Amino acid sequence: MGFVNYEQKDAIGIITINRPEALNALNSQVLDDLSATFDSVDLKTVRALVLTGAGEKSFVAGADIGEMSTLTKAEGEAFGKKGNDLFRKIEEFPIPVIAAVNGFALGGGNEIAMSCDIRICSDTAMFGQPEVGLGITPGFGGTQRLARLVSPGMAKQLIYTARNIKADEAYRIGLVNAVYPLEELLPAAEKLAATIAQNAPIAVRNCKKAINDGLQVDMDKAIVVEEKLFGDCFESYDQKEGMANFLRKKDDPAKVKHVAFKNE
Ligand code: CO8
């Protein structure tokens, strides 16, 4: 599809933003293509996604500055909404999405990475919210997600100064979970996705929903969110087979087997 490539490898889907000539900057077409790609993921067979950028230099170098440069107030709001709608779709996508950040993740690039469940990056990666240097605020959720992911003080420092940080600092402040040499990044992301994909898919989905929904409410309500999603699992084949397998193992270690979870 246009600016986005999609490949399924067993239970993993790999989404690659493919506009390397503009360092994978997000124009309206890229946002539309990404949205359509997420809509097309076969949720019956795919259990985890990897999101990365084409080329060796950039994950996403931000929203497209050329496209934004002539926007009116109303058009700016509409462009912000287009990005925000997509990033919410990613954040709430039923299955985990891993951002494999292979270079620049600036402005909208850092923001799309932050809408993913997990971020890992190459040692060449660079993160930042340069918007105030361009006369705008972060407009694809940066003020909100960065403050929640790192700390309000660190988010404010990064956003107010528009300073870019390298992979090691992103790791230190908890923006990414791990740093790899560039050539090892995608294999590591696929391995992580495969590890997730071998677990019970309904349980994994419910964990994502429990963490996301629970973070939006106070602890008393959050616990209820968890209880309901926990309860739901007891209607699944995966729970019955997963627990039965554990009991079989206790009974006779020779009966150990790999549980083929069924997503049902
Ligand atoms: N938008 C459009 N084109 C871009 C962008 C971008 N964000 N970033 C890079 N490009 C293009 C360049 O124009 C250049 O194109 P061309 O070859 O036609 O001149 C090509 O990509 C290669 O870029 P450079 O030659 O600049 O490559 P360098 O290696 O010299 O520099 C940098 C790499 C440092 C990443 C540099 O390109 C840069 O600073 N880019 C802009 C980074 C930036 O400021 N990003 C934030 C943008 S603002 C944003 O994302 C706001 C999000 C919220 C929007 C909400 C809207 C309401």
**Residue 1 pLDDT > 80, yes or no?**
no
pTM for the complete prediction?
0.96
How many angstroms is it from 4 CA to the middle of ligand 1? Answer: 18
CA distance 92 to 197: 18
The answer to whether 235 is a known catalytic residue is: no
- The Cα-based distances of 174 to 89, 187, 195 in angstroms read 23, 21, 21
**Which protein residues are within 6 Å of ligand 1, measured from CB?**
22-23, 25, 61-66, 68, 76, 79-80, 83, 104, 106-108, 130-131, 134, 138-140
Distance from C-alpha of 126 to C-alpha of 62, rounded to nearest angstrom? 12
Q: If you measure from the C-alpha of residue 64 to the centroid of ligand 1, how many angstroms do you get, rounded to a whole number?
A: 7
- Locate the ligand 1 atom nearest the alpha carbon of residue 65 and give its number: 1
pLDDT per residue over 28-56, tens digit each?
999 999 999 999 999 999 999 999 999 99
The one-letter amino acid code at 219 reads M
For 144-188, write each residue's pLDDT tens digit: 999 999 999 999 999 999 999 999 999 999 999 999 999 999 999
Residue nearest to atom 53 of ligand 1 (CA): 139
Cα three-residue angle 152-125-1, rounded to 5 degrees: 105
Rounded CA-CA distance 130/117 in Å is 23
Active-site annotation holds for 169:
no
Testing ligand 1's pocket by substitution, the residue of 23, 24, 129, 163 carrying the most ligand atoms inside 8 A of its CB is 23
Both tokens of 72, joined, read 């009116």
Counting atoms of ligand 1 from 1, which one is nearest the CA of 22? 21
Give per-residue pLDDT as tens, 119-142.
Answer: 999 999 999 999 999 999 999 999
pLDDT greater than 70 at residue 258: no
Atom in ligand 1 nearest the alpha carbon of residue 107: 50
Structure-model confidence comparison of residues 262 and 208, the more confident one: 208
